[in-house]
Amino acid sequence: LDDPSLLHEESLLDGQWVQSQSGERFGVEDPGSGHIWAASPTNKVSDVDKYVESSHAAFQSYRHVNPRQRAKILLKWHELITNARQDIAKIVVFETGKPMAEAVGEVDYALGFAWWFAGEAERIRGSIAQPAISDRRTFVIKQPIGVCVALVPWNFPVAMIIRKVSAALAAGCTMIVKPSPETPFSVMALADLALRAGLPPGVLNVISTDNANTPSVSETLCKHPLVHKVTFTGSTSVGSIIARHCSGGLKKVTMELGGNCPFIIFDDGDLEQAVAALMILKWRTAGQACTHANRVYVQSAVYDKFAQMMLEATSKIRLGHGAESCSTMGPLTTARGVDKVKKHVQDAVSKGGKILCGGKQPENLNGYFFEPTIISDMTSDMLTTQEEIFGPVLGLYKFETEEE
């Protein structure tokens, strides 16, 4: 890193970099090699109270900070992140495995949120309405809700943090972030830059933990009486658990969950444009995005032609470690992801699907790599039709009519 001080193997509590009460730590793997390259604190349920209490105490003063001052902090944060974009992207590469170009692209995309919410900080307005009684007026005044919790995924750690944190800070709220165990360091780097931008201690706290303790720490955060808002991005199954945790306290909850996106190509469509779109909407981040296309429906008249065009374009992808300049697709981020992709491929083949390319892990690469895979003759009873893949597998479904 050009600025090694951005890499924190600690959690952030009340403006200080700290370890967990137990002193336990967990290793973070480089998915491109399978090697552990850094470690982060294993916070547990017993650690949660001090993070929430710090955020609650900071809220008592931050809620009264002038909106313009909040905007200035966000704009300064934007500036510092821009200056550190290469270092942040390098951290993301070794956390997620995505190629450097994609990691830099994520940072640049995410920066727009900081800029946007800096402007929104000064546009928080209430309203006045006339009720049924003629000599009365009804006033609506918007106030910051309090301590917010962000439970974030590993596939876009920078984008998720900047989007959620910027909104909270603009509104005058404080926030506790629990990053994914796979990607704590990019989050810590962003939090460091927020402190440098002038954010008061405790307004942004970051609590790390491992996969084993993630369910209990997340549950404790969601159920804490001083937490008034929870935002979660992740799988639909975990989202339902989060909703149940928050329901007892009637907390406000915002969730962005999984998807199983279809992509439809008619026989009069522009096939070159469709291929170009799918090269991004399927293979970017090795297929690990909730907005990626999983099921590609192609009208029968152009089915074979499109399949061949997609094969030719996909053959140009170069698998490799994200830090290597020639790599255009990195590994999956976790071993769990590889297992799920294998399950989908095996299920499709067992039910009549034909592998046109890929279908296996490359023998010449360590880490969690899986070849970009295209499977034809997909049917509605296959696993890929029913659930999100979250990996580099593209299923081709043939159809005859629009009504079908």
Known catalytic residues? 256, 290
Asked if 96 contacts 103 with a C-beta cutoff of 8 angstroms, the reply is yes
d(CA 382, CA 91): 37
One-letter-per-residue 3-state SS of the chain:
CCCHHHCCCCEEECCEEECCCCCCEEEEEECCCCEEEEEEECCCHHHHHHHHHHHHHHHHHHCCCCHHHHHHHHHHHHHHHHHCHHHHHHHHHHHHCCCHHHHHHHHHHHHHHHHHHHHHHHHCCCEEECCCCCCCCEEECCCCCCEEEEECCCCCHHHHHHHHHHHHHHHCCEEEEECCCCCHHHHHHHHHHHHHCCCCCCCEEECCCCCCCHHHHHHHHHHCCCEEEEEEECCHHHHHHHHHHHHCCCCEEEEECCCCEEEEECCCCCHHHHHHHHHHHCCHHHHCCCCCEEEEEEEHHHHHHHHHHHHHHHCCCCECCCCCCCCCECCCCCHHHHHHHHHHHHHHHHCCCEEEECCCCCCCCCCCCCCCEEEECCCCCCHHHHCCCCCCEEEEEEECCCCC
Tell whether the torsion through CA atoms of 357, 358, 363 and 369 is positive or negative: positive
Greatest C-alpha distance within the chain: 79
Measured CA to CA, the distance from residue 323 to residue 337 in angstroms comes to: 20
Q: How many CB atoms lie within 10 A of CB 179?
A: 28
